[in-house]
Chain A
Amino acid sequence: MANLSLKNVPQVIVESQVWKSIFRHGYTMNRRNRLLAITNNVFYHILPTKISRYGMRMRFHWGAGIITFYLFLILTFTGVLLMFYYVPTVPRAYYDMKDLQHVVPFGNILRNMHRYGAHAMVFMVMVHMARTFYTSSYKPPREFNWVVGVILLNFTFLLSFSGYLLPWDQLAIWAVTVGANMARATPLIGHEGPFANLIGMKVNNDVRFALLGGTTVGSATLLRFYVLHCIAFPIILTIFIVVHFWRVRRDGYSGDVPVRE
């Protein structure tokens, strides 16, 4: 760091802890390493090539991460089925949800799987986070995966928040009204937040306006949340889940240590 000039900025970045925690180390481009880059690529191979059975004890990992993942699969499957009957418009949304409960064959169990599954997923993702905290799994070299985990936590919350509006009942509308009104107070980009007046934020140009597609929770909000809930958030979550699993493999599993039997 002593002679920090513009020239060695890239080097300082590449050697920093943040960079190394994300990209670990560079490969020298020989044949073997180029092959390894393929065989170790999680987009081609999801499962680890080898893993110790000692790290697989239930009392170590509580199964929390994998249960969260299964719940996500269940939610994706049931969610896609719900899309066959549910139309995200103000006149129809609530009645479609009622039809799912009372008219559609097996609709109620489907809806309940989605709803209780959603609550369970939010709960399990927090349990999983607590476990990785208690087992010190967030420490180097796994600090980047902890960050990925925080992103996953946030997108799970976003899925839950956006899905909560879709039944379009009183609870849904007012919960989202309250949640979105909190965004008014975001620094800079919420119109009631600190410094927001400096850049001319108003009720019809701030972050809440973009989220709701209007100044109040209305038909534009329902459609927006539906698209985010069914397309954007699940895709983003899937991408980060892949990165998350890949890092479990690359960083080594924290419970993957020999124990005496």
Chain B
Amino acid sequence: MVRAAEALSAEEQGTRRRLLSFLGWGSFVSFCGGVTVGSLRFFFPRILYEPPQQFIAGKPEDYQIGEVSTRMKKEQRVWMIRSEKGIYALISVCTHLGCTPIWHPAENRIKCPCHGSNFLVDGQNVAGPAPSPLFRAAISLDLVGNIVVDKSQKENQPGKRDEPPFTLPLT
């Protein structure tokens, strides 16, 4: 602004020419700005055609104590695990860079094929590059006694993850 004012002679200031120049350049700049912002916004979709985060995982009786069930893994990317305290849905997304780890019953370990992270059944990271434990999804019972898992809510800190809604207590 300072420069534009200086460039014009005193009598030109506040004249019609100055106003028109301001309007002209102003609309040019706002046009360019609008196109840029619009083009950037374009790349962020409003609607996602991604699978729902909630699903039903059978009844509590379907799972044995001490079992790491892989029945929901292919479709939903979770292991259904029943411990002494209750049932939890461990999300099989590696906390390193997002690959799908594999449950190895013989070694009692969960291992990631991408860069070799190892996890225990409770989700604890014990080897490899993964910086934190695996997450557990929110889990609850609906009115007819089905297990409902919601992957949009998750927790991986000991303590919190052992309480509802991240573990379903069973007596």
Contact surface of A with B, Cβ cutoff 8 Å: 6-7, 174, 177-178, 181-182, 204-205, 209-210, 213-216, 218-220
Contact surface of B with A, Cβ cutoff 8 Å: 2-3, 6, 43-45, 48-50, 97-100, 114
In the assembly, what is the distance between CA of A177 and CA of B97, in Å?
7
Residues of chain A with a CB closer than 8 A to B97's CB: 177-178, 181-182
In the assembly, what is the distance between CA of A215 and CA of B98, in Å?
12
- CB < 8 Å A-B pair total: 37
Tell me whether A7 and B99 are in contact in the complex, defined as CB-CB below 8 angstroms, given that A215-B48, A220-B45, A220-B49 are known contacts. no
Among A6, A181, A204, A220, the residue within 8 A (CB) of B98 is A181
10 smallest beta-carbon distances between A and B, as pairs: A178-B97, A181-B97, A181-B98, A210-B43, A177-B98, A214-B48, A174-B99, A210-B44, A214-B50, A6-B2
In the assembly, what is the distance between CA of A220 and CA of B99, in Å?
19
Residues of chain A with a CB closer than 8 A to B43's CB: 210, 213
The prevalent SS among residues of A at the interface is: helix
Q: Are A174 and B114 in contact (CB under 8 A)?
A: yes
Q: Are A177 and B49 in contact (CB under 8 A)?
A: no
Residues of chain B with a CB closer than 8 A to A213's CB: 43, 45
In the assembly, what is the distance between CA of A214 and CA of B47, in Å?
9
Kindly report which residue of chain A lies nearest to residue B6, judged by CB atoms.
A7
29 A-B pairs whose Cβ atoms sit less than 8 Å apart in the complex: A6-B2, A7-B3, A7-B6, A174-B99, A174-B100, A177-B97, A177-B98, A177-B99, A178-B97, A178-B98, A178-B99, A181-B97, A181-B98, A182-B97, A205-B44, A209-B44, A210-B43, A213-B43, A213-B45, A214-B45, A214-B48, A214-B49, A214-B50, A215-B48, A218-B49, A218-B50, A219-B49, A220-B45, A220-B49
